[in-house]
Amino acid sequence: MDAATGLDSLFAFDNTYARLPDAFFARLAPPPAAAPQLVIVNEQLAQQLGLDPRLLASPGGIGVLSGKVLPYGAEPLAMVYAGHQFGHFVPQLGDGRAILLGEVIGRDGLRRDVQLKGCGPTPFSRRGDGRAALGPVLREYIISEAMAALGIPTTRSLAAVLTGEEVLREMPLPGAILTRVASSHIRVGTFQFFAARGDVDGVRRLADYVIARHYPEVGRAANRYRAMLDCVIERQARLIAQWMLLGFIHGVMNTDNMAISGETIDYGPCAFMDTYEPATVFSSIDRMGRYAYNNQPSIAHWNLARLAETLIPLLGSDKEEGLIEARAAIDAYPSKYEAAYLAGVRRKLGLLQERPDDLALAQDLLDRMAANKADFTLTFRQLCDAAVSVEVDAEVRRLFDAPAAFDGWAVKWRHRLASEGGNAVERRTSMRAVNPAYIPRNHRVEEAITAAVDEGRTSIFETLVQVTTAPFDDQPGSERYAEPPQSHQIVHQTFCGT
Ligand code: AMP
Ligand code: MG
């Protein structure tokens, strides 16, 4: 390592996962990319993590981001996990195309994993090549950064590089590596890996690690494993509520794609809805609609039950007691989810007070939107202005196939707003802080990816990232990014591209 370039101090790694027993991972150095080339460095995130963005973008930094140079302090490893994939249990999965370099402590004092995704095969690659194509890498970059800006807990994207190699999918495609940053990469499936082997010590070791890293507040609870489970359930309930409130569809909610930290993880065929249709499925591999938009809350419940099962031996003094604790924890999920959803939907509608029929009011709007193919994001965004001026109703009604469908609801809504009083301008401001103007719409994501992959042009990608990472701002000149697709632009299917 050349000290003169400053690379030695690029990451101040402080690794803890690498201290866990060997059964938790496989150590290996990332295979070097042939001819790496930088696509993007996330300067803001780099700064948040205490990293020098210029150094990251330097030839030495690009070497690190592409696996060519192992940075000082890295202890590269691939994590092992298991998981239910579309309901079927697979006892061993693991990082098949990702290598954890190590952990850094950000300026905010929080510990985060730094991982190279798409850098080549690992012992867990099974039949895969361990690589990633540029398209899915850009897709994850765009969507994860937009999610973060929308205030949704998520893994982040620190950088993307081209490897200079081709990966073979249906056709040869440019290979790329995403540098992913996460609170941790521990999944429901990580617990399942040890539980499936009857390795109670492994489960306990993992749970203790998770408590120390993610839920230190439960450390002293009488039943600390139950307290940890409650915390994970709470975070997941809130996460899924946020997805639902913003029209996000994950697409592959397998238990190995559910993070214990409560962050959104593993962006594959995910997408935001344009028109509000609760049964929407984009993923080409989700033929039964298991992970449809409106199934997400109950799928999360199911996944969390799988997590609870792994903890049964730790939850009580015997199996029966453990089962009772597990069940009680899991049974609390629906009310946690509903509370998070209801609080969020109140903010979306500008309801300052809590009233018993709030959910019915929201559902009535959603039903009318569904029946009239209204654009999800635009309807709520324009509602912010309608809260101040009835004249804006014209804009909202236009989004409904039968505009009168909005009118019937608007009367009830206004009646409710009037009855609780409050300042209309303040209401608009608070509504605008939760109802985005800009989401990474599928047709824009496709457009950005196509230009980058087919023509090597990344300017559309960069613009899209810029626009969607300020989702709540009016951005004069960027209006077309707020618009729904025209009929010929609609993207009906998304692919994980692995
Ligand atoms: P996913 O559905 O993308 O979360 O991936 C499920 C599993 O397949 C994980 O264990 C991944 O590491 C693995 N995997 C996905 N794509 C590849 C690939 N190209 N090469 C090797 N393993 C992969
Ligand atoms: Mg995954």
CB 283 within 8 A of CB 136: no
**Spatial distance between the Cα atoms of 297 and 277, rounded to a whole number of angstroms:** 16
Centroid of ligand 2 to alpha carbon of 266 (angstroms): 5
Ligand 2 centre to CA of 121 (Å) is: 15
Cβ atoms within 10 Å, residue 475 = 14
8 Å CB contact between 284 and 494: yes
Closest atom of ligand 1 to CA, residue 95 = 12
Averages of pLDDT over runs of 10 residues in the chain (498 residues) are 65 97 97 96 97 96 96 97 98 98 97 97 96 98 98 98 96 97 98 98 98 94 97 98 98 98 97 97 94 98 98 97 98 98 98 97 98 98 97 97 98 97 96 98 98 97 98 97 95 82
- pLDDT given at position 6: 75
Q: Give me the pLDDT at residue 4, please.
A: 43
* Residue 5: per-residue pLDDT: 62
Of the listed 95, 113, 230, 256, which one is catalytic? Answer: 256
**What pLDDT is attached to residue 495?**
84
Determine the Cα–Cα distance for residues 179 and 160; give it in Å rounded to an integer: 6
**Which residue has a Cα nearest atom 15 of ligand 1?**
498
Q: Which ligand is nearest to the CA of 82?
A: 1
Confirm whether 256 is a catalytic residue: yes
Query: Relative to the CA of 131, which ligand 1 atom is closest?
Result: 19
pLDDT at 2: 44
Amino acid in the structure at residue 69: V
Tell me the best of 90, 97, 291 to mutate to test the pocket of ligand 1, counting ligand atoms within 8 Å of each CB and taking the most. 97
Report how far apart, in Å, the C-alpha atoms of 175 and of each of 160, 166, 266, 451, 458 are.
Answer: 11, 5, 18, 15, 15
Give the distance, in angstroms, between the CA of residue 490 and the centroid of all CA atoms in the same chain: 23
Ligand nearest to the CA of 98: 1
Q: Which two tokens stand for residue 105?
A: 């402590």
Backbone angles phi, psi at 73, to 5 degrees: 90, -10
Output the CA 419–ligand 2 centroid distance in Å: 48
When computed from its CA atoms, the radius of gyration of the chain, rounded to whole angstroms, is 23
| Longest alpha-carbon distance in the chain | 69
Q: What is the 356 CA–ligand 2 centroid distance (Å)? A: 39
Q: What is the pLDDT of residue 3?
A: 41
Query: Identity (one letter) of the amino acid at 13?
Result: F
